[in-house]
Amino acid sequence: MSKKKLKERKKQQKKAKAKARVVSRRNHIRRLDKEIHEETKAKQHFEDRIFPIRKAPKEAVVLDNAQKDEYVKRRLENNMKILEALEKDIEEEDRIRNNINNNLEEKGLNTVKEKMDFIFEQSQLNQLNNDQIPTDLN
């Protein structure tokens, strides 16, 4: 064969190899994109479904009205106990805060800034002495 034909054949072989590489890369990228698309599609399908909060057991006990009323009554009583305990806590905090405020006013501190500065100074002194935060400022 002549040199021109050999050069032409080499050129065609290089083009074929390059084309094969490009096709291989393209197929690989398409495969990855397809996997990602299928994963997102599966996730979206799962998220779009509506699931019940809780399924009732197969042997669900049917409560009559009296049982339901008793259950509701117990729950309300329990809630009332919780609310009463919270109310006592709030009243105790208010009492402590009012005592501290009255003690500060007896010392001649009327503005909020004066009271805060005094409390800060007292807490600094107590931390230096006892490493404790004061609860009563007498």
Give mean pLDDT, residues 59-82: 83
pLDDT tens digits, one per residue of 76-92: 999 999 999 999 999 99
Report the predicted TM-score, pTM, of the whole model to 2 decimal places. Answer: 0.40
CA distance 102 to 99: 5
Q: What is the pLDDT of residue 32?
A: 92
Residue-wise pLDDT tens digits, 45-58: 777 676 666 666 65
3-state secondary structure the chain: CCHHHHHHHHHHHHHHHHHHHHHHHHHHHHHHHHHHHHHHHHHHHHHHCCCCCCCCCCCCCCCCHHHHHHHHHHHHHHHHHHHHHHHHHHHHHHHHHHHHHHHHHHCCCCCHHHHHHHHHHHHHHHHHHCCCCCCCCC
- Nearest by Cα to 137 from 111, 94, 105, 92: 105
* CA-based radius of gyration for the chain: 40
